[in-house]
Amino acid sequence: MEQLFCPTCGTFLYFKQNYEYVDSAEFYCKLCPYNYNITKTAIDSVPLKKKRDELVLSKDGVGKGDKAEVVCPKCSHGVAYFTQVQTRSADEASTIIYECCECSHKWRED
Ligand SMILES: [Zn+2]
Ligand SMILES: [Zn+2]
């Protein structure tokens, strides 16, 4: 908190919290009757918080898919996300793309 000085006698002002009114406090001078009241401004942060929650939700909403117990060829981690990808020609079987939960290495199942 910045130091305030009494405009009347130049002595630095003491700070006193007003406990009857929680949002109010005052600076006062010990040498003369000067005092300076400050009132804290209540900041309504509810709309900001709501916006942040929505952002987090939409980020989590983009799921990476289901997890499978496969061993990563790069780091040997035992769990990876998998996505099934349908190849262009209909007579070919769909391919499974794995993404390691640990190191994000991607590989496809042969
Ligand atoms: Zn004073
Ligand atoms: Zn890995």
Sketch the domain layout of the chain as residue ranges: 1-42, 63-108
38 CA to middle of ligand 1, Å? Answer: 17
101 is in an annotated binding site: no
103 is in an annotated binding site: yes
Confidence category of residue 2, pLDDT binned at 50, 70, 90: low
* Residue 46, token pair as written in the block: 């509810």
86 CA to middle of ligand 2, Å? Answer: 24
Architecture field, domain 63-108: Single Sheet (2.20)
Taking only the tens place, the pLDDT of each residue in 11-55 is: 989 888 766 666 678 889 999 998 888 775 544 444 445 444 544
Q: What is the DSSP string of 34-61?
A: -EEEEEPPPP--HHHHHHHHHHHHHHHH
35 CA to middle of ligand 1, Å? Answer: 8
